[in-house]
Amino acid sequence: MTIGTPKIALRNLHKRFGEKRVLTGVDMDVAAGESIVVIGGSGSGKSVLIKNIMGLLQPDEGSIRIDGEEVVGMGTSERERVMRKFGMLFQGAGLFDSLPVWENVAFGLIQAQGMARDEAKTIAHEKMAQVGLGEEIGVLSPAELSGGMKKRVGLARAIAMEPEIIFFDEPTTGLDPIMGDIINELIIDCVKELGATALTITHDMASARKIGDRIAMLFGGKIIWDGPVAEIERANNPYVEQFINGLAEGPIEAATA
Amino acid sequence: MPILAPIGRVFLAFLEATGRLGRFAITGVSHCARPPFFPRLIGHQMVEIGYYSLPVVGLTAIFTGMVLALQSYTGFARFNAESAIAAVVVLSITRELGPVLAGLMVAGRIGAAMAAEIGTMRVTEQIDALTTLSTNPFKYLVAPRLIAGTLMLPCLVVVADIIGVFGGYLISVYKLGFNPNTYLKLTWDFLEPLDVISGLVKASVFGFLVALMGCYHGYHSKGGAQGVGLATTNAVVSASILILAFNYIITTLFFGT
Ligand SMILES: Nc1ncnc2c1ncn2[C@@H]1O[C@H](COP(=O)(O)OP(=O)(O)O)[C@@H](O)[C@H]1O
Ligand SMILES: [Mg+2]
């Protein structure tokens, strides 16, 4: 299925904090243009996985290739070049609360690309319109926004620089089901429009089924199952079955999740 | 042996912390010297540190100058009180109390605010967001604060020196009944350029230390609101101790035999 160089290729990725082993050998390939969803319980290391791929954390061991290029151990300026391929929607949106909404969306354009503020503002308004936000929202401070609006602004900021790869960290967590579905739709539209590769992490199965072409399950620091969305019902893996059906009984002990 | 092991562990932890702080400081300073610069952010921090600290530093200085005059009068009343008091006030203020008290007040006001702001940005993923938008947090957050702290504290100390001497003048003239012109002339005669210069050098170092500790503890804070609170406390306490320690060192360098 993966023809040509994968957009993201992880091999034997390890990460621990002190004595706590979070990732213990993750292997994963993501093809260009594919939308993959990584599922796993709270604290299973999903965010740590994304932060390693993006270079916000350094893995202890293993290899990360972006477009075939090894990024582990890369120098700062090289790293910044690779970073320009990425966009990310953070779990809590991660908006800069010292700046108004439009400057949040335009931040990368102004700071990283050196675009004039007026021009960046026009583009910011376009991106905001794309996620259903009017220009009047632009002057508000992030503190004045509801959870769903923050996610929209975070999404607009993530797509503003037209990244090749977008990461979504629990995009629907903390939203009501309807708002969650609206965000899902927006994510699908934005990714399609950009033709980007998407890596989403979530524990919301409805969202996973909707956004993903493929689902991978992270458990015990490894990917224990990986396959097309349609096949997850027939995964024949007791861990996956327990997780997607949300059962208390099963091989995953609550204490470790 | 069982006693030595814990001592060794504490010592190693101390060395590690010092190394980490040293690396942080060097990275921060190196970003102060390399473009791109953020004049808007530097200006904002300068106003925050310089202008808004004026009331608190001014009040500290005037009461200190007043109490110095009063206390020295009790001690010197039998001798040549007038000239002794003028000397004690102007030398204590410019050499020691101006920079140290301004440094401590700014540590409480600014160091705490920096740690809280940067710490909140850390735990709400705003610092990660900066990095993903190709903006180095050292350049965007740390360097402007270091520059503003180093430049603005000397300005505050000039003001504190003048107000402190004025406080001593008020007490000497209106309470102790000295001749105002003689008092001012004596003050001027006792004052050597080196007194003021050493005080301003101290102020620069203290301003740097306050900003450094605020940024360092904020940057490394973790674990939600509690972690940010801890970072704030640590920033103020460590900056205060460093100010007192460096005050001794710089005094030795300028006036030590
Ligand atoms: N910077 C860090 N320092 C120490 N421990 C961390 C750090 N980041 C994450 N962890 C730990 O790693 C584990 C996985 O965290 P995370 O990836 O955030 O989980 P989730 O799957 O819910 O996103 C957690 O136990 C967390 O405490
Ligand atoms: Mg997470």
| DSSP letters for B114-142 | HHHHHHHHHHTTHHHHHHHTT--HIIIII
Distance, CA B75 to ligand 2 centroid (Å)?
66
Q: Which residues make Cβ contacts (< 8 Å) with residue A16, sequence separation at least 6?
A: A22, A23, A60
Tokens of B91: 């030398």
Rounded percentage of chain B residues whose pLDDT exceeds 90: 81
Model confidence pLDDT, tens digit, residues A58-101: 999 999 999 999 999 998 889 889 999 999 999 999 999 999 99
Show Cβ contacts of residue A124 under 8 Å, excluding neighbours closer than 6 positions. Answer: A102, A103, A105, A106, A109, A138, A156, A160
Residue indicated by tokens 């609206």: A182
With respect to residue B232, please indicate whether it lies within any of the assigned structural domains: yes
Largest CA distance in chain B: 70
Q: Comparing B159 with A233, which gets the higher pLDDT?
A: B159
Name every chain B residue with its beta carbon within 8 A of the beta carbon of A51: 128
Check residue B166 and give its pLDDT: 96
Report the candidate in B84, B62, B91 with the shortest Cα–Cα distance to residue B195. Answer: B91
pLDDT in tens, B68-124: 999 888 877 766 777 788 999 999 999 999 999 999 999 999 999 999 999 999 999
Q: Is residue B32 part of a domain?
A: no
Position A257 scores a pLDDT of 43
User: Does residue B16 fall inside a structural domain?
Assistant: no
* Helix locations, B171-191, DSSP H: 180-190
State the Cα–Cα distance between residues B144 and B28, nearest whole angstrom: 9
- DSSP 8-state assignment for residue A221: T
User: Could you tell me if A106 lies within 8 Å of chain B, comparing CB atoms?
Assistant: no
Contact A56 B132 (CB under 8 A): yes
Q: Say whether A108 and B140 touch across the interface (CB within 8 A).
A: no
Q: Are B134 and A84 in contact, with CB atoms under 8 Å apart?
A: yes
pTM of the model: 0.91
Looking at residue B2, what DSSP letter applies? Answer: T
pLDDT at B44: 96
Residue B19 lies in a domain: no
For A121-204, strand residue ranges (E) read 165-169, 197-202
Q: Is B71 a domain residue?
A: yes
A22: Cβ below 6 Å to ligand 1?
yes
Domains contained in chain B, number? 1
> pLDDT tens digit string along B179-192?
999 999 999 999 99
Ligand sitting nearest the alpha carbon of B128: 1
Q: What tens digit of pLDDT does each residue of B6-53 get?
A: 888 899 988 988 999 999 999 999 999 988 889 999 999 999 999 999
Q: Is residue B112 part of a domain?
A: yes
Distance in Å, CA B12 to ligand 1 centroid: 26
Ligand 1 pocket test: pick from A13, A14, A17, A49 the residue with the most ligand atoms within 8 Å of its Cβ. A17
ipTM for the complex shown: 0.91
Find the CB nearest A112 among B125, B129, B134. Answer: B134
pLDDT tier at A233, thresholds 50, 70, 90: confident
Report pLDDT for A248: 85
* pLDDT tens digit sequence for A36-52: 999 999 999 999 999 99
Give chain A's mean pLDDT.
92
Ligand 2 ion: residues within 5 Å (CB): A 47
Residue B66, in any domain of the structure: yes
**The token pair that represents A97 in the structure block:** 């609360």
Q: Do A94 and B125 touch (CB under 8 A)?
A: yes
Task: Give the structural domain span for B221.
Answer: 39-252
The mean pLDDT value for B235-252 works out to 96
For residue B31, tell me if it sits in a domain.
Answer: no
Beta-strand runs (E) in chain A: 8-17, 20-30, 35-39, 61-66, 69-70, 86-89, 165-169, 197-202, 214-219, 222-228
**Closest Cβ opposite residue B128 in set A94, A107, A161:** A94
**Ligand 1 atom with least separation from CA of A170:** 23
